[in-house]
Structure formats: structure tokens, C-alpha cells
Amino acid sequence: MSSRNVPPGIILETHDWAIKMYDEGKCIISGFQSPIEKDVSRLVLKGTQPIILVLARGMCKRQVMMELSQAVQQGIILIMSPFKENATRITEETALIRNRYMFEKADDFCIPFYSKGGLIEQAIRTSKYMESSVP
């Protein structure tokens, strides 16, 4: 998870982390929504490690995005949502709920950057699954 606007040095560190996860075959869970999360998805989709995409909206009956269709066919990616199908738009509220849901499901977290007062910080502060609070 990461906020939208990330300092350049953190981008490089996050790419290195993604490559390490790729090399180690570690499962990645993300919403792949912010620009850096999208970069990570492009890196890890080249591998064969399991990937879990958690939507901040309901599952739709539309065709899977082209970049994900091969991974879906290979059984590499699982797409899930904590919302009903009628939740068709991503909002701040659905993104916050999605982020809390990922905290509940993940064993470890990589949060390279979050904006003060942003949705990720809110999810950390309000998630009962986080062991430590935000400084």
C-alpha cells in the first residue's frame, strides 16, 4: 500500500522490494490503485508468484483488464472484493474499507509511504488488526 504521491527515493526502494518479492515467489496483496502500486503490479505480474487484487468496489461482470487476463487464466491472480456487486464506484470510504480488509488478510505489510491524514494512515489508526499504531 502506498499513497499516490511518493518521494523519488521511496519509488526506487519499493521497486527493489517488489523485485525481491518476485524473486522469492512471495504472495502480494494490494489494491494496485496508486501509481506506485500499479508499478509494483507490472513488476510482479511478470512472475508466477500468487497475487491477490482487492478491489475498492464490487466485483463486476465486465471483462477482466487485458493486463490481468493472462494471470487470471494461469491461476496466478485472485481478484476479490469486500463489497457487493452494486458497489460500482471507488470512493474514499470504499478505499478505506478495502485497506482495512487487506490489513485483516495479510501476514506482513509493506507501506513505503503514506500521506499524513490520508486513507492509509486512517486505515492503520482504525484497524483492529494492526499490531502497532502510526507514530
The size of the chain, in residues, is 135
Strands 77-80 and 28-30: unpaired
Dihedral in degrees, nearest 10, Cα atoms 16, 3, 121, 15: 0
Domains and CATH numbers, the chain: 8-125 (3.40.50.450)
Nearest 5 degrees, angle CA 33-CA 91-CA 111?
40
Task: State the Cα–Cα distance between residues 21 and 33, nearest whole angstrom.
Answer: 19
Per-residue pLDDT tens listing for the chain (135 residues): 888 888 888 888 988 988 888 889 889 999 988 888 888 888 888 888 899 999 999 887 665 566 777 888 888 898 899 999 888 888 989 998 998 888 888 888 888 888 888 888 888 887 765 554 444
What CA–CA distances, in Å, run from 128 to 53, 68, 125?
Answer: 21, 31, 8
Instruction: State the DSSP H helix or E strand holding residue 80, giving kind and residue range, or none if neither.
Output: strand 77-80
pTM summary value: 0.82
